[in-house]
Chain A
Amino acid sequence: MTVLASPAPIRKMTLSPLNRRRLANFRANGRGWWSLWIFLVLFLVTLGAEFITNDRPIVVQYKGETLFPAFVTYPESTFGGFLATTDYRQPFIADEIAANGWALWPPVHFSYQTVDIYLPTSGANPPTWMLSRDAACANYPMGVADPACNWGNFHWLGTDDQGRDVLARLIYGFRISILFGFILTILSSVVGVVAGAVQGYFGGWVDLIFQRLIEIWNSVPALYLLLIVSSVIAPSFWVLLGILLLFSWVALVGIVRAEFLRARNFEYVTAARALGVSDRTIMWRHLLPNAMVATLTFMPFILSGSVATLTSLDFLGFGLPPGSPSLGELLAQGKDNLQAPWLGLTGFFTLALMMTLLVFIGEAVRDAFDPRKTFA
């Protein structure tokens, strides 16, 4: 028996006309469009921070073996030593590898917590290019002739007061800020949308009680709570994320709730109820798309807010655990070491650039979803 299957519904994988117009609107905002690309390049580059600045080589060919020190921790015994981990910056390890193979290093030979032991002076050192070659290589065992006094050990943006490379800390710090911001934004959007959706859809008592709870919750001073918590436990990345999430999900509730309140009386929602579609499906399939525009418009601003929050906590010393690369900590060092302006300037320009890019992108997204522009 041959069954003539009727053609499946034609689902175009291309963008709907509406979304195409939104994309065109987004591109029309040149500032936002370029900001997006610059931001994406910066983000992707810093995602691969280990390949740019690291105190371990990316690939090592040693006695016929191919090793990947950037990803795998090899004991020093691999190279004839006795320590549990290998310090590839040690001259004798470098010599050992050079004698029995080769090593591919990233452009900068420092990780965010590598302390450079051959610095010319103690404390914060200015960028190497501000010094003469003699001064820069002064403390290397063989002085100017030392093979380690090379481009790889160049401090492009100087070091902080503990002798750590600022560029390395900057790249790792940028990455952790953005990742923290993204995770916080996504989690708080999910929680906020769910909470707003439930309130808006069911309305009545659920809405009334939830709204009052949120008002009380909002009036809890989040900063002080953080201070108290961080004095009890040393906040790790995830603990910090959790605490900030406790307060940041509220941001989206209002708009999502309003969208759901508005849309729940639409006739197509009543029609779905008459069809017997469950509440959860109605919320997901019929109402959520209405709230998505408001949510997406808000997201870049939540992202920049999250990054700023993390930075300010780090600045105050209540943020990520000590030693973590962070922009806030860099700013704090800049404040404490006014004689080393490269610290403060680096932190300031990086943050200013990041915030500006995010806000420009946010404005372009807002323009793209603006119904007055969409249908103009």
Chain B
Amino acid sequence: MSGPLLSVRDLSIGFGAFEAVRKVSFDIEAGETLALVGESGSGKSVTALSVLRLLPPAASLAGSIAFEGQNLVTLPEPGLRAVRGNRVGMIFQEPMSSLNPVHTVGRQIGEVLAVHQGMRREAARRRTLELLDAVGIPDPQRRLEDYPHQLSGGQRQRVMIAMALANDPKLLIADEPTTALDVTVQAQILALLKDLQRQTGMAMLFITHDLTIVRRIADRVCVMTKGEIVETGPTAKIFSAPQHAYTRHLLAAAPQGKPLAPPADAPEVVSASDMKVWFPIRRGLLRRTVGHIKAVDGVSLSVRRGETLGVVGESGSGKSSLGYALLRLIGSEGRIVVLGEAIDEKSGKALRPFRKHMQIVFQDPFGSLSPRMSVAEIVEEGLRVHRPDLNAPQRADKRDAALREVGLDPGSAGRYPHEFSGGQRQRIALARALVLEPAFLVLDEPTSALDVSIQAQIIDLLRAIQQRHGLSYLFISHDLRVVKALAHRLIVMKDGLVVETGAADAIFAAPQHDYTRQLLAAAFSETPHQLPGAPQTD
């Protein structure tokens, strides 16, 4: 066949007056993987959706998208349907919302086969089983009758892949297919995609913001920013010799630096022993407790002044529950000592004086700020509770100092959260915590929802604040690269239990536990096949 499989020329996409994508051109050869890389708002997902014309009706499309010589921009709707899900498959970021919760897995895959190949029930069932087997779902016979909620996140994404592959597409468009998954699962899915590609010879358009994934999976890379492709080239070349300033900026943006050396014999700020967070499972008419979900099961820790304790684990490992329990935001058992006083027996009003010593910053900067309060009100809220002695100008002074501390202009205090970007919002959340001058800060995935370049800035800011005030952090994250840049000591959690603990340097250099090794391999390896002992079950 002559010419590339997919050839996009001068593609522009606009939403009203706003141009989301400007004059983008790229080619994909048969069997090749092209990665479209960019930060949020760069227009990469819109570009991917436009290939199958899946954009909302408000979007206007200009340019040409030629797939096997057919221009998809002008193709009428019936012709498009023959392409969608048939010759071009697509997988999305969030497997839970991409699968219909009221239909079984078997029925959803069967539907794709029935629509495009007119397969009868028996034939469809046989093909579905084949597909599920191919994407590595154990015991597919039984899984056929399962509903999406009965599967794990990784399994759901595998089902999505099976659906996309059902009709042997020539091209697979993957829009951030691993972003919602844990690192080890992420690695398995990437390996699976690479494997399937080798078997079927399909091409892949891979949209992601994560450069480590690009390095592992892509043959060629297009770097997008602000709706334009600024650089295109083979993966190795982009990583070794980036030409464009933005690409260099993106590559340099990975969280860097080392944690500061903590003072040698600093006093203990927070300690906890044998912490347990158990959620009862109730069954039957009388709601008798038949068992417990052990979110945190017997964890002990201590944090010294000026020290960062990293808590690492995958989703469901209990790391966030641990942070919440330490702040007494959820019920727990076990002794918690803050600044020399036990707080695990205290509640309500008695607990309030301790709240100002320990604060929390959340993952989602869009959910953690009340949309109806101005920045000034948000930052001052804690002062109103803990420093009733201050009058309005004094409060305003403290607020402005906190805003300056996190690198925001105090003049913006009258504005509302929606007027700020994600990174700025995270700074506001940090200012809200810092204004009380706490001794201990729980950081619950504070960088996970941010773009890489912003991540690095927030990490630098956290380090600077720690140095200035001798703050102690409990840094909860699934992202080992971020943890490495900040943590002095590490707790690795799995299923509510601590599997490994010790100095961060030692663990990164020589992990003792199998699970730790797996996490490290998934986070730092450069090819999808360096996964020692990665099990195939999710």
Which residues from chain A sit less than 8 Å from chain B, CB to CB? 3, 5-12, 16, 266-268, 270-278, 285-286, 289
Q: Is the CB of B436 within 8 A of A275?
A: yes
CA distance A276 to B383 in the complex (A): 10
B interface residues, Cβ below 8 angstroms from A: 324, 327, 329, 351-352, 355-356, 358-360, 362-364, 367-370, 372-374, 376-377, 381-382, 385-386, 392-393, 396-397, 400, 410, 413-414, 416, 429, 432, 436
Q: Are B393 and A275 in contact (CB under 8 A)?
A: no
User: Contacts A16-B416, A276-B386 given: A267-B351 contact, CB under 8 Å?
Assistant: no
How far apart are the CA atoms of A273 and B277 in the complex, in Å? Answer: 19
Instruction: Out of B352, B413, B432, name the residue touching A276 (CB < 8 Å).
Output: B352
Within the complex, the shortest CB–CB distance from B237 to chain A, in Å, comes to 42
| A6, B397: Cβ atoms closer than 8 Å | yes
Q: Which residue of B lies closest to A268 (CB)?
A: B370
Contacts of A274 on B, CB cut-off 8 Å?
327, 329, 355, 358-360
A16 and B400 CA atoms in complex are apart in Å by: 23
Contact: B396 with A275, CB < 8 Å?
no
Q: Which of A272, A275, A276 has the most CB of B within 10 A?
A: A275
Report the bound CA distance from A6 to B370 in whole Å: 24
Q: How far is the CA of A276 from the CA of B436 in the complex (A)?
A: 11
Do residues A289 and B372 form an inter-chain contact, with CB atoms below 8 A?
Answer: yes
Assess the B396–A8 pair: CB atoms within 8 A.
Answer: yes
Q: How far is the CA of A138 from the CA of B483 in the complex (A)?
A: 101
- Picked from A5, A11, A277, the residue with its CB within 8 Å of the CB of B381 is A277
A289 surroundings in chain B (CB, below 8 A): 370, 372
Contact B432 A271 (CB under 8 A): yes
Pick from A5, A268, A273, A286: contact of B367, CB under 8 Å: A268
CB closest residue in chain B, given A276: B355
Bound CA span A120–B161, Å: 90
Q: How far is the CA of A271 from the CA of B425 in the complex (A)?
A: 14
**CB atoms of A275 and B432 under 8 A apart:** yes
Residues from chain A with a CB closer than 8 A to the CB of B352 are 276
Distance in Å: Cβ of B21 to nearest Cβ of chain A? 22
Residues of B contacting A273 in the complex (Cβ-Cβ under 8 angstroms): 329
User: Given the interface contacts A275-B436, A276-B355, does A268 sit within 8 Å of B374 by beta carbon?
Assistant: no
- Distance in Å: Cβ of B411 to nearest Cβ of chain A: 8
**Contact indicator A9/B396 (Cβ below 8 Å):** yes
Taking CB atoms, residues of chain A closer than 8 Å to B364 are 267
- Complex Cα spacing A267 to B396, Å: 24
Alpha-carbon distance A266/B416, docked complex (angstroms): 17
- Once A276-B352, A276-B386 are accepted as A-B contacts, the answer to whether A271 and B429 lie under 8 Å apart by CB is yes
Min Cβ gap A226→B in Å is: 38
B382 engages A276 (CB within 8 Å): yes
The reply to whether B397 and A271 contact each other, CB–CB distance below 8 Å, is no
Q: How far is the CB of A265 from chain B (nearest CB, A)?
A: 10
Q: Which 5 A-B pairs have the closest CB atoms?
A: A276-B355, A10-B414, A9-B376, A267-B368, A275-B382
CB-based contact B385/A267 at 8 Å: no
Option from A5, A11, A276 in Cβ contact (under 8 Å) with B393: A5
**Are A268's CB and B368's CB within 8 A?**
yes
Asked if A268 contacts B369 (CB within 8 A), the reply is: yes
